[in-house]
Amino acid sequence: MPYLGSEDTLKELKRALSNPHVQGDCLRYRNVIQRVIRYMTQGVDVSNVFMEMVKASATVDIVQKKLVYLYMCTYAPLKPDLALLAINTLCKDCSDPNPMVRGLALRSMCSLRMPGIQEYIQQPILNGLRDKASYVRRVAVLGCAKMQKLQGDCEVDGALVNELYSLLRDQDPIVVVNCLRSLEEILEQEGGVVINKPIAHHLLNRMPDLDQWGQSEVLTFLLRYKPRCEEELFDILNLLDGYLKSSSSSVVMAATKLFLVLARAFPHVQTDVLVRAKGPLLAACTSESRELCFTALCHVRQILDSLPGHFSSHYKKFFSSYSEPHYIKYQKMEVLCKLVNDENMQQILEELRGYCTDVSVELAQRATFAIGNIARTYTEQCVKILTELLELKQDHITSAVVQVFRDLVWLCPQCIESVSQALSGCEETIQDAEGKQALIWLLGVHGERVPNAPYVLEDFVENVKSEAFSVVKMELLTALVRLFIARPAECQDMLGRLLYYCLEEETDMTVRDRALFYYRLLQAGMKETERVLCSPASDHSLQLLGDQAEGSVNAWASDFNTLVSIYGKEKWAGMTASKTIALTSTDSPYEASTVVGEEPLMSDQKEEVPFGNTSSRDLTLIPSTDLTAEQFERTWLNLGVGCQQTLPWQKAVQPDTIQAALQVVHIQTIAMSKTGSQLWKAYLGAQDDTGCVFLTELLFEPENATMQMLVKQSEDKLEALQAFLLVLKNVLGAVAGLTS
């Protein structure tokens, strides 16, 4: 028996396909074709039977035609000399009396990935758009988008766009939805399909005829239409009211988002819509589909940012079951932290306490941190539970509890006494660096309340030579100097030994620098040391007020029912920055104008502001620049100014968002000011594939609402500089649009 993929196997298939007796028996013929497809899907090269498979398409058997069309789409690009036979066969089938055959042939032709195919599929697609069979029209509409994709950067055919706009009034609802998707892709460079008043009202009237997938698609497109008056707005909302009760979660979410966006000026309407969406969201949170459950939980968290008590009466819906994956349990714990009130506090704390003893170390620690988050409001009850967890003597639990205590004593000073009493014996079980740091910090700051604090720190000093974490050594230095101020007699000897080791034997320069700083500080006197290390703390209430601040629904309404709810705004901005840049055709995104008309063919058109004769495609930035701050400074001082420009910048600067977006296009951030700086600056570095280095200084001036951009380059290449400026300005434009 020949093995799989051998020459004997292929010869056997070829003989069987050419055998008149096999061709006369429909069942045997189909079985042979199925064997060919099976080998093809297993990676075997069966291109040698191309001619025989083309002949096999001459049949009335729909199943056999489907198999042959699949084979043709796979091997036609690999056999360009024989592909013309496949194209002729498909063109002939596009005129078949059977509408199913016409649709299959047209779909297969549009799926051929070979040069020059668009000249063959143009006429069949136009004929398909006017076909009497709705199935053929559905395929032809989608084929328009595929044809435009094959044409690349060629100019959009206005007649074709006109034809698709007219098909929005087709009797078949699937054709209508397919038209919207095709127009969106074809007019991508021009801002997508335009939804004006006639189109919007037509789509609203066709909504009952659509399936659930079509309804969610149409609701998404209706976000682009802005009602002209309040009366029209409420008429639209009344028409969409029933879709908030749909059995499909995607339709409910799309309808909810449309309500939230259209009713921006009516907060009471937004609140009422979110109340009505509570049921479907809770059903999705308990769905058997883990993906749907996770997505729903992310949206619940988003809603709770603006309406903290929205789901409080249903808090038990967010209790986790044993079989749920950890990523869902994490989301439910975060939701429970937002739902705590006087009535359900005890039940939620008991539920979280059960998670703290889970076999998963990460889940147990997250549950402990969740209790610490609740402790900001219900301090006494949470500290009691956390203290009881210390009795378990589990290293990961003890470490998490001590870290929670460290944050809690700063936010809630009233719990310092009870926390200090609970620290005894914790040093025996903590093994990780974070837990050691937290314990040492507590003993240093509040050691006067812990009787054995000097002796605990002495154990750390005795084992400092074997300590693997330099951050622990640095924390130990600070804590011991602080405790020395409060209890000098007990700490003097061990502090001297620790300083001697860090200055004479320690190899980590960071630890040595910290020890040298404290040594010199102590030489300046105890008063100066106390002034530096024991200065007044900041106001503890500021953080609590910031955590309790409620955001407006309008702040996240446009992000509802999108991946922003899952990834977060900053991360999503970085992930989509490259796509935004690729779609931006203007030199300055701030100067783009939008024209929206009543006629269907008038689309969102952006003015082109050319910058030289180059584009971002002429520049290839490499990801591995790795410029250090010292190298940047030396190079910056030795280079002359290549270009200086000013961009309008109306909103506050978000450094994390800018850095994430720059990283996508391989522009390295050397240094950057913090959020809210009076004079915000950033220094950037990049290098192209030819070795040319680009150094940039960004300077934001709030009083002028402008972003100053100064660029220097290592080589005098005007075109490369222009291309780099285009990339950088497009990134800044994309970030400005995402943060506005």
Domains by residue range for the chain, with CATH: 443-534 (no CATH), 568-739 (3.30.310.10)
Average pLDDT of the segment spanning 110-132: 83
Q: Indicate the Cα dihedral angle 378, 388, 334, 552, nearest 10°.
A: 10
Instruction: Tell me the whole-structure pTM to 2 decimals.
Output: 0.71
Q: In 96-201, where do the E strands start and end?
A: none
Distance of alpha carbon 692 from alpha carbon 722, whole angstroms = 13
Indicate whether 607 pLDDT > 50.
no
Indicate whether 334 pLDDT > 80.
yes
Select the highest-mean-pLDDT range: 351-360, 585-594, 669-678. Answer: 351-360
Indicate whether 429 pLDDT > 90.
no
Nearest-5° angle of CA 240, CA 241, CA 244? 100
What residues have CB less than 8 Å from 639, skipping those under 6 apart?
Answer: 695, 712, 713, 714
Quick one: tokens of 312? 């409080």
Smallest Cα–Cα separation from 69: which of 120, 95, 121, 105? 105
What residues have CB less than 8 Å from 126, skipping those under 6 apart?
Answer: 140, 160, 163
Task: Yes or no: say if 728 and 696 are a contact pair by the CB < 8 Å rule.
Answer: yes
Distance of alpha carbon 386 from alpha carbon 388, whole angstroms = 5
User: Residue 672, SS3?
Assistant: strand
Parallel, antiparallel, or unpaired: how do β-strands 643-648 and 706-713 relate?
A: antiparallel
What residues have CB less than 8 Å from 106, skipping those under 6 apart?
Answer: 90, 94, 121, 124, 125, 128, 136, 139, 140, 143
Percentage of the chain lying above the pLDDT 70 cut: 90
DSSP 78-92: T-HHHHHHHHHHHHH
> What Rg, from alpha-carbon coordinates, does the chain have?
34
What residues have CB less than 8 Å from 524, skipping those under 6 apart?
Answer: none
| The dihedral sign for the CA sequence 47, 52, 58, 60 | negative
80-120 pLDDT, tens per residue? 777 777 788 888 888 888 899 889 888 888 888 777 777 78
Distance of alpha carbon 69 from alpha carbon 36, whole angstroms = 12
Quick one: tokens of 580? 């935004």
Average pLDDT of the segment spanning 638-666: 80
Question: What stretch of H or E contains 480?
Answer: helix 470-486
What pLDDT score does 476 carry?
93
Parallel, antiparallel, or unpaired: how do β-strands 668-672 and 680-687 relate?
A: antiparallel
Task: Yes or no: say if 131 and 102 are a contact pair by the CB < 8 Å rule.
Answer: yes
Q: pLDDT band for position 585 (50/70/90)? A: very low
Q: What letters, b where the CB count within 10 A reaches 16 and e where it falls short, cover 60-90?
A: eeeebbebbbbbbbbbbeebeeebebbbebb
What residues have CB less than 8 Å from 674, skipping those under 6 apart?
Answer: 655
Q: pLDDT band for position 542 (50/70/90)? A: very low
Indicate whether 546 pLDDT > 50.
no
Q: In 48-183, where do the E strands start and end?
A: none
Q: Which residue has the higher pLDDT, 682 or 572?
A: 682
What pLDDT score does 532 carry?
87
Indicate whether 497 pLDDT > 90.
yes
708-730 pLDDT, tens per residue? 888 998 888 888 888 888 888 88
